Structure formats: structure tokens, C-alpha cells
């Protein structure tokens, strides 16, 4: 049985979207209305306030760009680079 306490308030959905940062780009691993987890090739400090844009394909083929701001709550080094988790403070379509 898994005894790890889950701190998330909303469900996460596996996604594959481009994340644009001031320092480069990344790719989402999962996304929810409360936050995002993505991988990037640069380390990002925990507790940093971050602005990013997530490009998503909508039904019908239209591309939309979600503007996000939030606090970095976790970073881990992985085989794909750096895994970064952000808790959103602002979301704008």
C-alpha cells in the first residue's frame, strides 16, 4: 500500500504540451487547474515565482496559449533533464 500523502487539491492529467519560459523551453508531464509539472534542461530554484506560456492544441486543431504564473514547489533531476512542479497563482487564456 502507498503511504505517501497526496497534497494536490485537483486531479492531474497527463499532457504533452510545449512550455515557454524566459530561460528556455520545456515539455509538460501533467497539468491541472492548480499547477503543472514539466521537464526542462535547466535547473529552476524552488520557491521562485515563475511566468510561463503553455501551448495547447484545442479540439478542431486550433492552438491556444495559456499564460501561467506560479511558485516552483519542487524540482528533481531526472533522465530527461529537470522536472519542475509549479503551483499556479494566475491562469489566463
* All three cell numbers of 35: 499547477
- Dihedral (CA of 10, 55, 37, 86) sign: negative
Model confidence pTM above 0.75: yes
* CA-based nearest residue to 37, from 65, 8, 3, 62: 8
- Dihedral (CA of 25, 28, 41, 92) sign: positive
CA of 88: how far to CAs of 10, 29, 32, 50, in Å? 12, 15, 9, 9
Render pLDDT for 29-40 as a digit per residue (tens, 0 to 9): 999 999 999 999
Render pLDDT for 27-66 as a digit per residue (tens, 0 to 9): 999 999 999 999 999 999 999 999 999 999 877 788 899 9
Domain ranges of the chain: 13-36+43-85
Amino acid at each position: 500500500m502507498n503511504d505517501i500523502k497526496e497534497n494536490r487539491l485537483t486531479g492531474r492529467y497527463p499532457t504533452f504540451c510545449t512550455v515557454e519560459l524566459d530561460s528556455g523551453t520545456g515539455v509538460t508531464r501533467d497539468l491541472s487547474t492548480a499547477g503543472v509539472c514539466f521537464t526542462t534542461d535547466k535547473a529552476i530554484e524552488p520557491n521562485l515565482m515563475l511566468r510561463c506560456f503553455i501551448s495547447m492544441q484545442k479540439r478542431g486543431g486550433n492552438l491556444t496559449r495559456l499564460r501561467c504564473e506560479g511558485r516552483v514547489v519542487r524540482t528533481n533531476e531526472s533522465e530527461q533533464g529537470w522536472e519542475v512542479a509549479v503551483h499556479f497563482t494566475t491562469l489566463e487564456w
